[in-house]
């Protein structure tokens, strides 16, 4: 089976940098995805890592270490609008492309 662990809550101030970690256990591994969800809204895709290293998209970056079964999402120059829940997700090898398994989420609170 699969399991993903991420911190339940993170707090930071505007302008700061925050890192949200995710460790995973899977029977097979295709890659690690990150999604953002604001309260009352739907999840939206942020990034995907299939290979080791850092992927940068504007203020957000995502890192993967396959050997450590570990990844993180890095948010820079935090803004109030970044207050949301962030989920890491992996694909299930047995189910193939579409069977995406999510972590429980990290709630980020950004304060002035």
Our finding on whether 103 is near other proteins (CB under 8 A) is: yes
Q: Does 97 bind other proteins (CB under 8 A)?
A: yes
List, in sequence order, every residue forming a beta bridge with 33; answer none if it has no partner.
48, 89
Would you say 13 or 104 has its CB closer to other proteins?
Answer: 104
**74 is a contact residue toward other proteins (CB under 8 A):** no
Q: Least CB distance from residue 103 to other proteins, whole Å?
A: 6
In the bound state with other proteins, the residue whose beta carbon lies nearer, of 54 and 100, is 100
| Structure-token pair, residue 65 | 């270490």
CA distance 79 to 17: 10
Q: Cα 56–109–79 angle (5° rounding)?
A: 50
- The minimum distance between CB 76 and other proteins, in angstroms, equals 22
> Which token pair is 79?
């803004």
d(CA 5, CA 35): 15
Q: Give how many residues touch other proteins by CB under 8 A.
A: 23
What tokens does 84 get?
Answer: 């949301």
Binding site for other proteins (CB under 8 A): 8, 31, 33, 35, 41-45, 48, 87, 89, 95-105
């Amino acid at each position: 089976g699969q399991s993903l662990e991420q911190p339940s809550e993170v707090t930071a101030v505007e302008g700061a940098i925050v890192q949200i970690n995710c460790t995973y256990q899977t029977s097979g591994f295709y890659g690690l995805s990150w999604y953002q969800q604001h309260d009352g809204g739907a999840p939206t895709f942020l990034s995907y890592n299939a290979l080791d290293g850092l992927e940068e998209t504007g203020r957000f970056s995502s890192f993967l270490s396959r050997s450590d079964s570990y990844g993180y999402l890095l948010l820079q120059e935090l803004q109030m609008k970044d207050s949301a829940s962030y989920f890491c997700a992996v694909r299930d090898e047995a189910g193939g492309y579409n069977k995406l398994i999510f972590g429980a989420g990290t709630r980020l609170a950004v304060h002035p």
